[in-house]
Structure 1
Amino acid sequence: MNSYSLDYIDDLYVQYIRDPSSVSPGWRKYFEEFSLANATASGASEQSGLQATTAGGSVAVAGDEPNAQARSIRDEALWLAQMQDRVDNLVREYRVRGHLMAKLDPLKLANLGNPELEPGAYGLSEEDMARPFSCPNLQYVDGRTLGDIVTKLQNTYCRSIGAQFMHIDNRTIRDWLQRRMESCENRLELSREVQCRIYSRLTDAAIFEEFVRRKFVGAKTFSLEGAESLIPLLDLSLEKAGQHGVEGVLLAMAHRGRLNVLANIMGKRAQSIFWSFDDPRPDMHRGAGDVRYHLGYSSDWATSTGAKVHISLCFNPSHLEYVNTVAQGRCRAKQDRSGDDRHSKFMTILVHGDAAFAGEGIVQETLNMSELPGYKTGGTLHVILNNQVGFTTEPDESRSCTYATDVAKMLQIPIFHVNGEDPEAVAQVVNLAMDFRREFRRDVVIDMYAYRKWGHNEGDEPRFTQPLMYKTIDERKSVRESYLKRLLKLGEITRQEADAIAEVRQTKLEREFELAQKEEFIDDLQTLGGSWQGYYGGDEPLDDLPDTMISDSRARALMGKLAAYPKDFQINRKLKRFMELRGEMAEGKRGLDWSAGEALALASMLVEGHPVRFSGQDCERGTFSQRHSVLHDTVDNTKHMPLNNLSADQARVDIINSPLCEAGVLGFEYGYSLDCPEGVVIWEAQFGDFWNVAQVIVDQFITSAEDKWGRLSHITLLLPHGFEGAGPEHCSARLERFLLLTAEDNIQVTQPSTPAQYFHLLRRQAKRRWSKPLVVLTPKSLLRHPEVVSQLEDFTTGKFEKILPDTRQAPPQTDRILLCSGKVYYELAEKRKAIGADNVAIVRIEQYYPLKEETLAEALQPYQPGTDLVWVQEEPTNMGAWQFMKVKFGDMLADLNFKLRRISRVESASPSTGSASAHKLEQDDLIEEAFANL
């Protein structure tokens, strides 16, 4: 008699399944006789009981044949284990892929289906549906039948809601979501009050669209019809936010449904919206303003419990998704200014289109930033208004993934797909999503499937490209009508009550329309207030010149703080010398270099109460290893930030190494500046032309927001610039592009050439009440240039000068005036000294824009009219500032009898050569030409 352990039999059975011929004939016969049909649930025993029955976990087998007792026990155990494993796999499959069978599409044009969710795929028969099984992780008491289990899974994961959450690695989060969804089968029990509220909001949405379409025939409105459930979705989100103690919500969305949201969520008077359709006052908008479906608005939302939530709908350009990080930046600024370190008082709701969410790279940047310490806002509610088409492009032509939301699976967050024609399912996902955000402080996505009743806009004919879709749409009733039918059937509302709700809305819109037609009505545009009180835009004033000097004692004290670190801090050997040099600067033993001037400017602003937020790629250390604003202990990597150790009452400082994305980060910092007018908000490009990737943010927000939307910003862009032989992408900040965008004193474009100039410029930006974005072309080789230093007295006296005069002492007759900016000045000055060209003046332009003609004329006043006047730039002819200077000042200079000519590199398709040797030849030729023929 041989004795075999259960583990041995298990292994042998697995071997048999893989290859029956690999086991002995006796065991093969035994396994072949194993039959599920002959097993009965009544003879089943727990695995622990099996161990006792088999005398310590083994069975007796005579020779090479198992005996009858062993066979019976083994059959039973294997059947139990196999059946339970099959049921467990089925449960998991529903959690993982149940969304593929959910009834999401209101048009019922596509049903993905999933044969893997059929019980038969797991060897479970119809007969098994009546058998009881234990599913302790399915929010069920033990003993429910397989049929009960399948029904529960289908109700939870395959009705109007499809949930994707099993990609989340954190088991605590998965268990929380499973418990919340499975315990109620993903259905929210709604009171009559809430059901009536949902119906009322659907009525608001539907009647507004119908009214506008009837009164303004053919006008573009980007109608919400087909997706009216967005209005109750936002309504319930704000209600829930109020319950969670949220004080403010930043809302950003694209065109579709924006007017409806303005009227029915933001509370903007329909009178103002209707007035914008008639556009009766063109004189108010000459060269300014924006279309009505781009505009923002702010208001206070009162919840049913009496709580107030301030909501701000962000203005939005046509690059729809680029507003995402702008809204996030605004939210973070509000959190920081209010001391909301838990990120619980303010939140962001972003409403996306399905095609844009899948197609625009800025979406991935937004998601990636969501969990980074410098950009975290405590969880954003993403709402996909899923039109199931992008303009005329269908999903299989616009994305390579199953869902428009698949990019969001990069995060450890749930994605809820919901049928927009089931408002109560929408209510459930809103409730669940908002609770998830509060519980875990992470983003969450609601993908609401809907359709566009009128195509991309009201002037579009969608039947050209989607004939079958629109045949189905033409035959459908609105979600409002279908939901009313449900409520009438349930007896939750009467037809009279429903008609009364509609009549009130209709009457109100008629009254607002009549008021908008009156000649005396002028739209009451919202103006800057609150934290922006006292700040202004417009043309650069002559009298807003704040004192940017600091006292000698403060300069020395702050430089001493900037040179200090804890005694037990193990500093890098090279940085120790760096800090020692800072100490010598504090004592006046040496001049301050560029990074010291910057650090002193930031430190002085911090102790004066101006918060500083400074972000960019590697900006803690500095791309050129020049800044070292954050020190790292060489033993345990602990950090020390001198700027955060200046005084007990200093303002907040954040120096942030950003992720490797420019558009998202610049958008975030711009948004931050919109809600922090008293602060210093700086974005630094790793190299100057890296703002190429963020040009949408510059074009459609930074340079034009005041003109389009009346919004001010004081954001500062630091762009390393200078031709150093490092190749085309590492030399030019594309100065010419900024200069092409300048008009109406919209931005400031500067290129300071000394640490003191840079110091005064940064302090001027913080202290001025005139608020404009500031572009600073910063140096690279000048960071360590022996001539690029400023003495302590340069920081305790003076101010930022837009033009720096020639530095010659008692100059003789001047035969040539070289106008230039930035790094090339030092090369010209060196050449002048080397050849003794005392008859050449070198005048530096430190601020390109705004720069008045009178200022330049004053700088040239010491020189005789007719003197040779040369603009010298490192950039090719078609780049840099030459074209700007010629157009802007050419006529004025001619009137003063100065004929401006140019010395530069020849025109080129790229900024520079990639050869360091060729660069040196070109630079030598350029400098030689500047002094030729004297």
Structure 2
Amino acid sequence: MTMDSMEKRLLLARLTRSHGFEAFLARKFSSEKRFGLEGCEILIPAMKQVIDRSTSLGVESFVMGMPHRGRLNVLANVCRKPLEHIFTQFAGLESADEGSGDVKYHLGTYQERLNRVTNKNIRLAIVANPSHLEACDPVVQGKTRAEQFYHGDSEGKKVLSILLHGDAAFSGQGIVYETFHLSELPEYTTHGTIHIVVNNQIGFTTDPRMSRSSPYCTDVARVVNAPIFHVNADDPEAVMHVCNVAADWRSTFHKDVVIDLVCYRRNGHNEIDEPMFTQPLMYTRIRKLKPVIELYGDKLISEGVVTPEEVKEVKDKYEKILETAFSVAKQETQVFNKHWIDSPWSGFFEGKDPLKISPTGVHEDTLKHIGKKFSSAPPNASDFVIHRGIQRILNSRMEMVESRTADWALGEAMAFGSLLKEGTHVRLSGQDVERGTFSHRHHVLHHQKVDKSQYNALANLYRDQAPYTVCNSSLSEYAVLGFELGFSMTNPNALVIWEAQFGDFNNTAQCIIDQFMSSGQSKWIRQSGLVLLLPHGMEGMGPEHSSARLERFLQMTSDDPDVLPPFSDDFAIRQLSDINWIVANCSTPASYFHILRRQIALPFRKPLIIMTPKSLLRLPEARSSFDEMIEGTEFQRMYPEAGPASNNPANVKRLIFCSGRVYYDLLQARKEAGLEEKIAIARVEQIAPFPYDLVMKECAKYADAELVWSQEEHKNMGAWSYIQPRISTALNHERHISYAGRPVSASPATGNKKTHIRESKQLLEDSLAL
């Protein structure tokens, strides 16, 4: 590749800015961590070259993810984030808006600007990322895929994802491999990602001999046969050539490509770190190296492309820009977290009452129409051969619709279908979600004689409905949940759902749950309405197929157990607005139907964690009448006792509170023991935020009853540790609530069927013992 003198001068100017920015920060904030780019200043011109070339090939939007190193420089010089916003982050000022914020080298941004080289408007987003270096990889891919989806960009010509990596993390973190495996799956592909590795040849203090088993840190990309370009970061023109080839490759073949910038790290892991402790020989050599800006400046002077005065002039000009921004930043008295939002939702919050929920009930005709379509074979498809077992399921569904009742699968289909009718895109993703792990859903019917011939009823309900996406994922939790989170960030008017095959499996996605979902709004002002469906319940299936670890989600809620919120007409929605996420354990199809629709009806977005059932999917008692789903009905945060006990509350000796499937066991046991007048059972559907008002009302009704919390999980698990202090607060510490359930345990469930049956029997006896 030959560059003309104009291109060389542009490269020099970009390199000058990259170097100048780090040098300026080092001078002004010498004792601050900033994870600077010294030793790989070429990254900035490289990214700009990829963006220029891709823009000229038609790309309009770039979604980027990266670790700490060089992040501030990328924000300043690639995204053109106002420099004063970056400098005020160093001043330690109080934040002017909501949230706890995050350290400056974790923050993201979103900018729209003119690309001066191609004279086209472009959008640039860098997603916020925690210290789990590669955790943003699938989030970027999900966000990119969503942008492509909503812009009708089915070939990825307009939206491009760029992922930056460090060498040690690229080879060391499994999420990289999981994300590569999404790269060519039909419902997850982003049609090619450009990966750029800042290869310091050292991870914190660990050298490559100790940190990977393969020759190159980029070998993980060979799993999808991506072309990998290793290039010397001290040869700027070679880097530009590689960047052009990479952008062309992606544009032509729509597959991943990797640029490995082989460089060094001039300082330690951060600027306060002493690298000579652990890499003395390497750093003795690094200290003697000339910075790339000097090497390239000298080269262009010797070629006669620029004069020494011009080199100095370019440097001084940028220095002046930095100084001006620095003095503006000094005037600031506070920082704004909203300046760092990576996915702004223009128009979503405006003109809405922030405390008003749209109705979630639906007209009966709509329920019937969806029910009938969902219970029918493909129209005009006499030759579509349906499995006999599926035909039986469809027939029994149709009978339910005729009798105006819904089981779990039908209730879910009605929630999805009614949202689709209203123009809301629904996306359900996860392992085996098309059929459903428990063979209950059957959203995709397969022709028994013809390969790839399928029918999706919910995608064919109405002529002008929103699209319905249901897709089996790769056998990954971490990457797929990250992907769906990214997808949910792009458009607030979509219901995006991830289902774990068993609730227990969410623990391999814990990083996304902890770092992005639980704390994302607080750290990054990033709202997400992502829904997690986690099959949960003690049914003798052993320790890895019983518990979705309800207690972990409840422990991470941001509501205070010792403070009774003030009661008002908008108490329920105010609670939702104040908490970081919603945790529910629905026990009826109607409850599930309403809570899914409420996700979209809310004037804001919060993640929703639902413990979903297994045996209740087919339990005849766990069905809902259409009367509970039609117009005028809504989500019930708690179902109070409605049987004989409620008619004579003074006679009631015990009030049991519970949640989820154990309710049906208690119901049956109470009936067999003939205690329907002496024991009342209330079930909590929405555990967090806690329904204080309804619990207080129920306790007041049964003023003389002893209070019991009954759960099937072990005492150190489940909801007990969450509800106990809250019930105490609700009752002003004047009444005691005792526990009935399994004793404490290290494992979430026994693997022995006999033990399970014995424990279940004991749990019911303890719950009902007067």
Alignment TM class, shorter chain as reference: over 0.9
Shift of 1:524: 7.8
Seen in structure 2, the aligned counterparts of structure 1 residues 886 and 532 have a Cα distance that, compared at 3 Å, is farther
Match of 2:391 in 1: 576
1:763 matched to 2:580? The reply is no
**Distance of 2:439 and 2:637 partners within structure 1:** 28
Paired residues for 1:377-456 under 5 Å? 377-456=190-269
Structure 1 residue matching 2:80: 3-state secondary structure:
coil
CA contact (8 A) 1:429 1:446 kept: yes
Match of 1:642 in 2: 457
Shift of 1:894: 4.4
Q: Segments of 4+ in structure 1 off by > 3 A?
A: 283-287, 519-525, 527-532
Any idea what the Cα deviations from partners look like across 1:22-81, whole Å, max 9, x if unmatched?
xxxxxxxxxxxxxxxxxxxxxxxxxxxxxxxxxxxxxxxxxxxxxxxxxxxxxxxxxxxx
Seen in structure 2, the aligned counterparts of structure 1 residues 568 and 531 have a Cα distance that, compared at 3 Å, is farther
CA contact (8 A) 2:98 2:337 kept: no
Paired residues for 1:455-854 under 5 Å? 455-518=268-331, 522-523=335-336, 525-526=338-339, 531-535=345-349, 543-566=355-378, 567-587=382-402, 589=403, 591-637=405-451, 638-743=453-558, 744-797=578-631, 798-809=633-644, 811-812=647-648, 813-837=651-675, 838-854=677-693
Structure 2 counterpart of 1:599, one-letter code:
A
Any idea what the Cα deviations from partners look like across 1:831-857, whole Å, max 9, x if unmatched?
111111021000000001112433321
Match of 1:891 among 717, 729, 743: 729
Paired residues for 1:123-162 under 5 Å? none
CA contact (8 A) 1:272 1:524 kept: no
CA contact (8 A) 2:110 2:344 kept: no
**Distance of 2:510 and 2:180 partners within structure 1:** 20
Structure 2 residue matching 1:728: 3-state secondary structure:
coil
Match of 2:748 in 1: 911
Paired residues for 1:145-294 under 5 Å? 188-281=1-94, 284=96, 288-294=100-106
Structure 2 counterpart of 1:711, one-letter code:
R
CA contact (8 A) 2:160 2:190 kept: yes
**Distance of 1:719 and 1:685 partners within structure 2:** 5
Structure 1 counterpart of 2:665, one-letter code:
E
Structure 2 counterpart of 1:602, one-letter code:
F
**Distance of 2:503 and 2:346 partners within structure 1:** 30
Higher radius of gyration, 1 or 2: 1
CA contact (8 A) 1:735 1:880 kept: yes
Shift of 1:523: 4.9
CA contact (8 A) 2:109 2:340 kept: no
Match of 1:181 in 2: none
Structure 2 residue matching 1:680: 3-state secondary structure:
strand
Structure 2: stretches of 5+ with no match in the other structure: 559-577
Match of 2:719 in 1: 881
Structure 2 residue matching 1:928: 3-state secondary structure:
helix
1:308 matched to 2:121? The reply is yes
CA contact (8 A) 2:54 2:248 kept: no
Q: Which has the higher contact order (CA 8 A, sep 6+)?
A: 2
CA contact (8 A) 1:275 1:523 kept: no
Seen in structure 2, the aligned counterparts of structure 1 residues 891 and 552 have a Cα distance that, compared at 3 Å, is closer
**Distance of 2:238 and 2:743 partners within structure 1:** 65
**Distance of 2:714 and 2:611 partners within structure 1:** 17
**Distance of 2:44 and 2:306 partners within structure 1:** 20
**Distance of 1:255 and 1:381 partners within structure 2:** 18
**Distance of 1:453 and 1:775 partners within structure 2:** 45
CA contact (8 A) 1:532 1:677 kept: no
Structure 1 residue matching 2:586: 3-state secondary structure:
coil
Any idea what the Cα deviations from partners look like across 1:421-455, whole Å, max 9, x if unmatched?
01111101100011000111101000101111111
**Distance of 1:593 and 1:581 partners within structure 2:** 11
Seen in structure 2, the aligned counterparts of structure 1 residues 378 and 515 have a Cα distance that, compared at 3 Å, is same
CA contact (8 A) 2:165 2:195 kept: yes
Structure 2 residue matching 1:310: 3-state secondary structure:
strand
% identical aligned pairs:
44
Shift of 1:817: 0.5
Shift of 1:867: 2.1
Shift of 1:286: 8.9
CA contact (8 A) 2:96 2:335 kept: no
**Distance of 1:448 and 1:490 partners within structure 2:** 25
Structure 1 residue matching 2:583: 3-state secondary structure:
strand
Shift of 1:633: 0.6
**Distance of 1:406 and 1:324 partners within structure 2:** 17
**Distance of 1:239 and 1:510 partners within structure 2:** 28
Shift of 1:522: 4.9
CA contact (8 A) 1:811 1:839 kept: no
Shift of 1:530: 5.5
Match of 1:38 in 2: none
Any idea what the Cα deviations from partners look like across 1:638-693, whole Å, max 9, x if unmatched?
10000111111110111000000100000000000000210010000000011100
**Distance of 1:280 and 1:326 partners within structure 2:** 30
Shift of 1:287: 6.9
Seen in structure 2, the aligned counterparts of structure 1 residues 543 and 301 have a Cα distance that, compared at 3 Å, is closer
Seen in structure 2, the aligned counterparts of structure 1 residues 273 and 892 have a Cα distance that, compared at 3 Å, is same
Structure 1: stretches of 5+ with no match in the other structure: 1-187
Aligned length: 739
CA contact (8 A) 2:426 2:467 kept: yes
CA contact (8 A) 2:46 2:240 kept: yes
CA contact (8 A) 1:557 1:586 kept: no
Match of 1:338 in 2: 151
Match of 2:571 in 1: none
**Distance of 2:656 and 2:337 partners within structure 1:** 52
Structure 2 counterpart of 1:610, one-letter code:
T
1:870 matched to 2:684? The reply is no
**Distance of 1:782 and 1:305 partners within structure 2:** 59
**Distance of 1:903 and 1:355 partners within structure 2:** 49
Seen in structure 2, the aligned counterparts of structure 1 residues 522 and 735 have a Cα distance that, compared at 3 Å, is closer
Structure 1 counterpart of 2:25, one-letter code:
V
Match of 2:763 in 1: 926
CA contact (8 A) 2:370 2:413 kept: no
Q: TM-score, normalised by structure 1?
A: 0.78
Q: TM-score, normalised by structure 2?
A: 0.94
Shift of 1:811: 3.0
**Distance of 2:334 and 2:416 partners within structure 1:** 48
Structure 2 residue matching 1:924: 3-state secondary structure:
helix
**Distance of 2:333 and 2:392 partners within structure 1:** 71
